[in-house]
Structure 1
Amino acid sequence: MKRIYSHFWFILNLVFAFGYSLIWLKVAFAAKYSVQADASMYVFWMQRFLDPALLPNDLNVAYHESISPVGYTALFKGIASLGVPPMLASKLLPIVLTLTTTVYCFNFCLQLLPIPATAFVSTLLFNQHLWLTDDVNSATPRAFVYPFFFAFLYYLNRGANVRAIVAIGLLGLFYPTMMFVAVGVLAVRLVSWTKGRLWLSQRRGDYLLLAAAIGMAGLTLLPYGLFGHAEFGPLVTAAQARAMPEFQAPLGRISFFNHRDPLDFWFDGIHSGLGLSLNPLIVSVGLLLPVLWCYPRQFPLVQQCRPAMALLLQILIAAIGFFLAAHALLFHLFLPSRYTLHSLRMVVAIAGGVALCILIDAAVRAYQQRWQGKTARLVAWGIAVLVAVPLLFFPQIFWAKHFTRAGLVAGTHPALYEFFQQQPKDSLIATLSAEADNLPVFAQRSVLVSGKYAIPYHPAYYNQIRQRAIALIHAQYSFDGAAVRELIQKYGVDFWLVERTAFTPAYLDSRWLKLFEPANTEARAQLATTKPPVLAQMMDRCKVFESGNFVVLQADCLRKET
């Protein structure tokens, strides 16, 4: 009977997880041209697995291929070998990831508090939180954190050390920062607080497990050392980043420095802060768990919690430790937030479910003690149900427009994409339009520069992007046809995509274009004159396609006519 009871709550979790996935699928396939924003950045170059002729000699492709985690790349390459397009795979993988996460999360929660209903609530809260963010629906490397990390926790607590080490290896192959947190958990477990003092573990197996984890981490990082980033050199230094507008809030592509409020920098900054998120709001109840823990008589369910509950605290200590180390060694350990963002999401959601059930249990017990009898029990559990129903359907009711849709981008210019799809596969498009972000995905053609792909972590890559952007701004707003010809010849541009509104000062107010000074200011000065730039004069003469506000100019025509 007890097993049936547990299976009921487990299956119910899977039902909700699958239901959330179906909502995502409906949204993801609602439009012909739609993609999750981060997925487009990570997966666009993988279209070459099916057609190597696509995006040839593309700087953006070379860079993003070099920084993609080894395991992530291998997975999509394997899927593509089965004939499944990578962009399609990125929309289907969230189902697998959600269900796998649900399985491990539920079983891990049972190890903390062996009450299936509580495991159900914690897992449900985590799934709701997951689908309110842009993690799992992106199918990017960070989406793999949750199934692998929960698997690590489950096997660790079960004593299946070999499987726990394998889970650590998978974390390293897909998302190395969380692999460090997992290794950190094993290190923190060596220390305990008993009778008012710290004690080191006396179990030899704990040290062997940590050594094995460090060894596995070293093996998984080896490919990155041999192949990763070599083409584009070392990461940007802290001193270099402080001098770059790309790292300054609020305009920078990576808005790390110059936050107006120190609290925003340390707690809410997407790159620099802890990244504590309390969505859905009910998970904030988890912050009360340490308080409830101190009053076991008033909250009897606390007494049923197992020692494994200490893992939640150990995760926090390990994550915050690496968070502080990443700040101290900026950017050698990459971004500080990447250690706490995902860790806090898991800990807070689980703690929220446990705390909520402890509170409901205490309320039901108190009511039953005061009002005896069968009717009192029915009323008490009726109240519990009234609390549970909003919990089950909160996201669908209050976040219907956002639930599962985080970061979803729909292409709004299908005619433009289809025009470029008909052009040679080695075509290169120059444009300052925001549509440059979509063309490599929807049109499968290379762009000279794009705000989305202009990641400033590696100077050897980003300096080239910055030079291209400055040259493009200069050429597009120049009175001299030589600047246009020089850009076309230097980079091998085939088409120039221009918006008719591009020759107004307001167009240069784009957050991305403001980064390129003094080119932006010089372009504004040129627009202030009565003479139109050369490119504006050539729009009707060299036009090969027009759709709405967009005009496509043929580079050969521009080279001959300017």
Structure 2
Amino acid sequence: MARFMDVSYLRKYLGSEVSAQQRYLWLGLSLLVSLSYSIPVLFQSFSYPYLMQDDARQHVFWMQRFVDPELFPNDLLADYFQSVAPWGYSTLYWLASQIGFDPVVFNKLLPPVLLLITTVYTFLGAMQFLPSPVAAFISATLINQNLWLRDDVVSGTPVAFVYPLFTAFLYYMMRRSLFPYLGAIVLMGLFYPQMVLISSGILFMRLFTIKNYRLGLTSASELRFYLLGIAVSVGIMLPYVLEPSVYGPILTRAEAQDMATLGNRGWSRFFRNHFTRFWACGKRSGFLPPEWCDISFALPQLGLGLMLPLVIWGRQRFTLAQRVSPEALVVPQALIVSLCWFFVAHALVFRLHLPNRYGEHSIRIVMAVSAGVALVIAWDRVMKWLVNRQSIAQSLRAFAALAGASCALTILLVNPYQLEFDRENFPIDRYAKGIYPEVYEYLSAQPKDILVASLSPEVNNLPSFAKRSVLVGGGGFVLPYHTGYFQQVEERLLENISAQYAPQLDGLKQFIEKYGVDYWLIDHNFTDLTYLSEDVFFQFPIMRDRLIQRLGEGRLPALARVAPNCVVVEVDNVKPVKLLDAACILEQ
């Protein structure tokens, strides 16, 4: 214990003078930190039978076809999400289903595994920057905190694979491990192709070097290494270029600007009047991770991350900075490449999908590593003052600085617990809880080809919990980026609203017969004016105004006058709902 009170020993421990055993110890601690975040969420995910991550409801429900191919026949939603799923992602779930894993269960088991892999590669990548296990531990902890401030990895959707694959790519690139590095590029293309563009951009920048203030090519061996990676990147991206979606064409900017769903109250809101919200922190349009809009978290992340170039530049004063590897250049390279692709994505919106995808993921990773390394270098500098103390006053100042640095590290590591992002506590999982088991059990007992119509927010849960098709969902089901798909769901939504609020039964019956609706799920308060504040109605402002006027005049829709004997399930809880038999409605 006494030697840990020796500042000279602590300085060595921060640097590279540690044994392999000690490095494994810090790696083990990093993995324990990752598990400490993951395990409680994992237990929660299995604590209730009808619980599923919000984004997974759209991206995973159709995979139940792997277990039972008769599910979701001729289902527009299932067919669309299956068509846009990356090949590697859908194949992994298919393989899991072949060995007995239900896709929903597998989805819940994936996040801890992906986070452990990310933790390992972040730790090893940080060690390539600076051979300090303490810095690597801090970096690994920061990336775990970042990932639990969003629901990317916990969703088990394609974006969840960005972090283990991109950190693996960076590590093997810095190690010059050819086949693992190429494998990481291929896997990124199979799971999340946007990251291949970031990776190939970094490789392109590394083809060049500056010597004696002159730009030139790197060495022949490294040139071959990077060019091979670029060639593989081009090859893995070709199928995405040559095989356009059957639900195309891609939405254009001119079309998008007139769409309510991409406005401030839209399900896929993109365009914002606020400059910072649009360019910096927009969930789809901004460059930074959205949670970094909270300044209490952005300052430690960005401040410490951007401090690394400063301490390297002043390495004559920061002794430990002299040991930073030239591989640390990947930080500015990743930032420059990400920024370039971000603006290209804005210029070509939405042909490269969403601009934010080219900024937030790479920034989370490189800033976590950069912050961990910069913090340890600064900490070492404080300890150097303490070792070289020449007077009591200097000793007290150095001790105070050391205590302040220790407090800063402590605050950094516990900071997320003090945040409330989107009114949620850390760690964020965004699990959707189904509160109508009677409805799910009834529908799942019906034939597999039934179709349910509804404007209730609960409609998003039915494909996952009842395993039955819905005419159209809301929110994440109504993606506007492929016009061939969006036009169909928009038409269905408009007709669904018109039918649900039709003043006469004839309009209701025509809708049922047109789409072959078997059941209709309605909220108990669907005739209240307050119900029209649900997001679905803000997608169609003209129709919403019309409905407000009609209900305000006391003209109730025909669906509210359907005979009680058409109700097959009624749940009277916090949000009462009724499930109606469409065949019974036709007989009215």
TM-score (norm 1): 0.93
Q: Which amino acid aligns with 2:544?
A: N
Offset of 1:100 from its aligned partner?
Answer: 0.8
What is the CA-CA distance between 1:517 and the residue it aligns to?
4.5
2:4 alignment counterpart: none
Please say if residues 311 and 374 of structure 2, whose CA atoms lie closer than 8 Å, have aligned partners that are also in contact. yes
Aligned match for 1:538, one of 562, 572, 578: 562
* One-letter identity of the residue aligned with 1:366: W
Return closer, same or farther for 1:419/1:280 CA change in 2, 3 Å cut-off: farther
Aligned to 1:422: 445
Is the aligned partner of 1:260 residue 2:278? no
Query: Cα RMSD between the aligned structures?
Result: 2.3
Work out whether residues 455 and 536 of structure 2, in 8 Å CA contact, stay in contact via their aligned partners in 1: no
Q: Which whole-Å CA distance do the structure 1 matches of 2:213 and 2:242 have between them?
A: 47
Equivalent in the alignment of 1:271: 284
Q: Report the equivalent of 2:256.
A: 241
Which whole-Å CA distance do the structure 2 matches of 1:26 and 1:532 have between them? 45
Residues 426 and 158 of structure 1: CA distance in aligned 2, closer, same or farther (over 3 Å): same
Residue 91 (structure 2) aligns with? 74
What's 1:440 paired with?
Answer: 463
Equivalences for residues 504-543 of structure 1 within 5 A: 504-538=528-562, 540-543=564-567
Please show how residues 315-464 of structure 1 align to structure 2 within 5 Å.
315-370=334-389, 386-396=407-417, 402-452=425-475, 453-464=477-488
Shift of 1:223: 4.3
The CA deviation at 1:104 is: 1.0
Deviates more, 1:150-159 or 1:280-289: 280-289
**Which whole-Å CA distance do the structure 2 matches of 1:539 and 1:289 have between them?**
70
Determine the C-alpha separation between the residues in 2 that align with 1:478 and 1:398. 45
- The offset of 1:283, in angstroms, is 2.3
Unaligned runs of 5+ residues in structure 2 are 1-17
How far off is 1:280 after superposition? 7.3
The 3 A distance-change label for structure 1 pair 200 and 334 is: farther
CA distance in 1, matches of 2:585, 2:104: 34
User: Deviation of residue 264 (structure 1)?
Assistant: 1.9
Q: Deviations over 1:288-338 (max 9, x none)?
A: 222222222332221110100001111111111111111111222111110
The percentage of counterpart residues that share the same residue type is: 37
Distance in 2, Cα, partners of 1:439 & 1:253:
19
Q: Distance in 2 between matches of 1:227 and 1:440?
A: 28
Matched, 1:216 2:216: no
- Classify the secondary structure of the residue corresponding to 1:512: helix
Counterpart for residue 133 of structure 1: 150
Q: How far apart are residue 489 of structure 1 and its match?
A: 0.8
Cα distance in 2 for residues equivalent to 1:200 and 1:194? 7
Query: Alpha-carbon deviation of 1:370?
Result: 1.8
CA distance in 1, matches of 2:141, 2:298: 11
Residue number in structure 2 paired with 1:14: 31
Using the TM superposition, give the Cα deviation of residue 406 of structure 1 relative to its aligned residue in structure 2, in angstroms: 3.1
Question: Residue 178 and residue 466 in structure 1: after superposition, are their counterparts in 2 closer, same or farther (change >3 A)?
Answer: same
Asked if the contact 1:129/1:280 (under 8 Å) is kept, the reply is no
Structure 2 counterpart of 1:127, one-letter code? N
Partner of 1:499: 523
| CA deviation vs aligned residue, 1:127-180 (integer Å, no higher than 9, x gap) | 111122111111111111111111111111111122211111100100010111
User: Cα offset for 1:205?
Assistant: 3.7
* Residue 361 to residue 539, structure 1, CA distance change in 2 (3 Å): farther
Distance (Å, rounded) in 1 between the aligned partners of 2:157 and 2:120: 20
Partner of 1:145: 162
Instruction: Evaluate the alpha carbon distance shift between residue 36 and residue 292 of structure 1 in structure 2; reply closer, same or farther with a 3 A threshold.
Output: same
Match for 2:577: what amino acid?
Answer: F
Whole-Å separation in 2 of the counterparts to 1:310 and 1:495: 59
Q: How many Å separate the matches in 2 of 1:334 and 1:312?
A: 24
Q: Structure 1 107/174 Cα, relative in aligned 2: closer, same or farther at 3 Å?
A: same
Over 3 Å counting, the alpha-carbon distance change for 1:8 and 1:114 in structure 2 is same
Within 5 A, what are the aligned runs for 1:50-65?
50-65=67-82
Q: After superposition, what is the alpha-carbon deviation per residue over 1:103-130, rounded to whole angstroms, capped at 9, x for unaligned?
A: 1111111010011111111111111111
Residue aligned with 1:402, SS: coil
* 1:557 partnered with 2:584: yes
Matched residue, 2:508: 484
Kept in 2: contact 1:245–1:252 (CA 8 A): yes
Alpha-carbon contact 2:151-2:430 (below 8 Å) kept: yes
**Partner Cα distance (1:358, 1:256) in 2:** 40
Query: After alignment, is 508-517 or 163-172 more displaced?
Result: 508-517
Q: Does the CA-based 8 Å contact 1:283-1:353 persist in structure 2?
A: no
Q: CA deviation at 1:394?
A: 4.2
Q: What's the offset of the Cα at 1:541?
A: 3.9
What per-residue deviation string (whole Å, max 9, x for no partner) do you get for residues 80-121 of structure 1?
Answer: 111101111111111110111111111111010011111111
Alpha-carbon deviations, 1:401-434, whole Å to 9, x = none? 6223332222222222222222222221111100
| Contact 1:172 1:179 (C-alpha < 8 Å) held by counterparts | yes
Number of residue-to-residue matches in the alignment:
556
| Secondary structure, counterpart of 1:501 in structure 2 | coil
1:118–1:473 CA distance, 2 compared to 1 (3 A): same
**CA distance in structure 1 between the partners assigned to 2:241 and 2:273 by the alignment:** 37
